[in-house]
Every structure is written in structure tokens, then in C-alpha cells.
Amino acid sequence: MNTKLQEKDLRVISEQTLAHYQSRAHAFWEGTKDHDVTQNYQAFLEALPQRKGLSILDLGCGPGRDLKYFKNLGHHAIGLDGCPDFCQMARSYSSCEVWQQDFLKLDLPRQFFDGIFANASLFHVPSQELTRVLRELHQSLKENGILFSSNPRGDFEGWNGQRYGTYLELVEYQNFLKRSGFSLVHNYYRPQGKPCHEQPWLAVVAKKCSGPKPL
């Protein structure tokens, strides 16, 4: 994306993308509630301290499948999503606290979370805003906190139907993480067991390692 996005463009990006999810919230739940996310749960949890009661943010929690999973393990899981119906669905499915917030206007507590789980959500942040958003996540993590993210990969940014997306390959995504004060712990492509060209998802475990580099 070469042209600088203005404030109003960013507003449209969030509003239209969220409107897409809002208009099909129940169909989305039916289509994704049984997705096997085990590999992502494991990668995230293995990087965290091995105890119960961790403070976990599910960023872009959708209708709450993963929130409930973390809660059932004995963690203190909080959801965050910009889609009003997803927030309601996630609250009632998981009985967890869920914050309705836009990724582009986050208001997060500092040094609060042990881990942030961002499954199929951060790619909705325009690249122009990605370092800022990652830095806000960095600030909300405790020292050595873990950020897990899984995103569709590629070399494209823009509208994909009614949803805006930023599709990055590992090297480029890693640069964003580094600039934001994260170091790479582990990465893999999904789905498991397929040749690389049939693995459209890039999963990354990153650790809060230092203060972000000055812009």
C-alpha cells in the first residue's frame, strides 16, 4: 500500500470489515466453531509459564470458541472484538469478560497480560498502522509476555470482498514484530502436513523482549 491512508479511510476500513462480520455472525459461528485449533493453542501455551491462572487476551475473539478453551484450562481469559454480535455471543458462550474495541483504537491496560492470542485477526490491521498496534499490544504485555498470531500470508494489501486485509510473508511480518519490540520464538505454516504452497496460514509465536525501537 503506497498511498497514505487518512483518518477517514481507516474508519471505513474498520467499519466495513466489522459490518461484514456483523452481517454473518451466526453463519461464521456455525462455520468455525468446530475448527481444530489445537496446534495454535499448543504453540501459544508452550511458550507461556506452565501454570494456571494466566492473564490472556484473545484479540479478535469472534464468537468465543478459543476464549472458552482458555477459561476451561483455568486461565483468566478476556476477549476483545469490534463486532457487537460477536462480543455478545462470546460473553454468553464463554462467560468471560469481552471488551468491544476497534483494533485501530485500542485502550488496553499496561503490563497486564501474560499472553495475547490473535487467531486470524491481526491481518485486518492496515500495514500503515501495524507497528503502532503491535506496540500497543507490547505495552499491554508483562515482561517476557507472548504474542501468538496466525494470519493468511502473501504479498498483498487491500480489500478482499468486504473485508480489508494485510497479507505478509514471514520476513516482512518479522520486521514489523522487531520494530515493535518482539523477538521471534517459533513459526510454522498451516494446515499441518501439506506442501508449502497449500499452507496459506502463517503462525508466529513472538516474545516481548525489549522496548520498541524509536520510529
Ligand X SMILES: C[S@@+](CC[C@H](N)C(=O)[O-])C[C@H]1O[C@@H](n2cnc3c(N)ncnc32)[C@H](O)[C@@H]1O
Our finding on whether 173 is near ligand X (CB under 6 A) is no
Q: Which is nearer to ligand X, 132 or 209 (CB)?
A: 132
Determine phi and psi for 154, rounding to 5 degrees: 155, -160
What does each C-alpha distance from 52 to 16, 37, 80, 154, 213 come to in angstroms?
Answer: 38, 20, 21, 36, 33
Interacting residue with ligand X among 43, 44, 45, 62 (CB under 6 A): 62
Looking at the chain, list the stretches that DSSP marks H as alpha helix, in order from N- to C-terminal side: 7-23, 25-32, 38-46, 65-72, 84-94, 127-140, 170-179
Our finding on whether 94 is near ligand X (CB under 6 A) is no
Q: Which is nearer to ligand X, 15 or 46 (CB)?
A: 15
β-pair type (201-208, 141-152): antiparallel
Interacting residue with ligand X among 55, 89, 96, 121 (CB under 6 A): 121
Residue for grid cell 487476551: 57
What's the CA gap between 93 and 146, in Å, rounded?
A: 25
Our finding on whether 60 is near ligand X (CB under 6 A) is yes
Our finding on whether 206 is near ligand X (CB under 6 A) is no
User: Within 16-55, which residues bind ligand X (CB under 6 A)?
Assistant: 17-18, 21, 32
Q: Considering only 12-20, 133-141, 186-194, 195-203, which stretch makes contact with ligand X by CB under 6 A?
A: 12-20
The cell for 111 is: 503490563
Q: Which is nearer to ligand X, 82 or 145 (CB)?
A: 82
Our finding on whether 83 is near ligand X (CB under 6 A) is yes
Torsion of CA 56, 57, 62, 68, to 10 degrees: 20
| Interface residue list for ligand X (CB under 6 A) | 14, 17-18, 21, 32, 60-62, 65, 81-83, 86, 102-104, 119-121, 124
